[in-house]
Structure 1
Amino acid sequence: MKLRTQMSALWASAILATAPAFAEPPMQVDDAGTLGAGGLKIEGALTRDHKTHGGELIFGFAPLENLEIGLALSHATDREPDPSTRLRGSGIGFKWVPIQNETGWSAGVKLDLSATRVDDRVNGERYTEKEYALAALATYRFDDGQAIHANLGSKQARAQGDRATVGTWGLGHEWPLAAKLKLTEEIFGEEHSRPDKALGLRYEVFEGFKLSGAIGHGNGRRFGQIGFAWEF
Structure 2
Amino acid sequence: MTTEDAGVLEAGECELEVYAGHERQRPEGRARGASVQGSCGVGHGVQAALAAERVRVRGSEDAGRDEGGLLSFKARLLGEDDDDPALALVGGLHWGRHDHEAFRRDSLALGLAGTLPLPQGFTAHANLGHYHDHAERQRSTFWALALEKALTDTVDLGAELYGDDRGRPWRGLGLRWAATPSLTVGTSYAVQAGAGRARLVTVGVTLGF
Say if 1:130 and 1:83 are closer, same or farther in 2 by CA, change over 3 A.
closer
- TM-fit CA distance, 1:73: 0.2
- TM-fit CA distance, 1:78: 0.1
Conserved 8 A contact 2:93-2:105: no
Where 1:104 maps in the other structure, the secondary structure is: coil
User: Which one of 180, 203, 209 corresponds to residue 226 of structure 1?
Assistant: 203
Say if 1:36 and 1:145 are closer, same or farther in 2 by CA, change over 3 A.
farther
Say if 1:103 and 1:76 are closer, same or farther in 2 by CA, change over 3 A.
same
Q: Does 1:98 align with 2:77?
A: yes
Distance 1:82 1:164 in 2: 20
Match of 2:27 in 1: none
Deviation beyond 3 Å, 4+ runs, structure 1: 81-84, 125-129
Conserved 8 A contact 1:110-1:137: yes
Alpha-carbon RMSD: 1.8
- TM-fit CA distance, 1:82: 8.4
- TM-fit CA distance, 1:155: 0.3
Conserved 8 A contact 1:104-1:142: no
Unaligned runs of 5+ in 2: 25-29
- TM-fit CA distance, 1:157: 0.7
TM-score by length of structure 1 reads 0.81
- TM-fit CA distance, 1:154: 1.0
Cα deviation code 1:172-226 (max 9, x no counterpart): 1111111210001111000121110110100011002100101110042000100
Distance 1:144 1:199 in 2: 19
Distance 1:102 1:129 in 2: 35
Distance 1:181 1:98 in 2: 28
Match of 2:57 in 1: 78
Unaligned runs of 5+ in 1: 1-26
Q: Does 1:118 align with 2:95?
A: no
Where 1:97 maps in the other structure, the secondary structure is: strand
Match of 1:148 in 2: 124
Distance 1:30 1:83 in 2: 27
Say if 1:119 and 1:143 are closer, same or farther in 2 by CA, change over 3 A.
same
Distance 2:74 2:124 in 1: 18
**Number of residues paired by the alignment?**
200
Cα deviation code 1:48-67 (max 9, x no counterpart): 12201010100000111310
- Give the letter aligned to residue 81 of structure 1: S
Say if 1:103 and 1:142 are closer, same or farther in 2 by CA, change over 3 A.
farther
Match of 1:166 in 2: 140
TM-score by length of structure 2 reads 0.90
Match of 1:107 in 2: 87
Match of 1:214 in 2: 188
Cα deviation code 1:3-60 (max 9, x no counterpart): xxxxxxxxxxxxxxxxxxxxxxxx1110011111111110111111220101010000
Where 2:82 maps in the other structure, the secondary structure is: coil
Q: Which one has a larger percent helix, Structure 1 or Structure 2?
A: 1
Distance 1:95 1:221 in 2: 30
Moved more, 130-139 or 142-151: 142-151
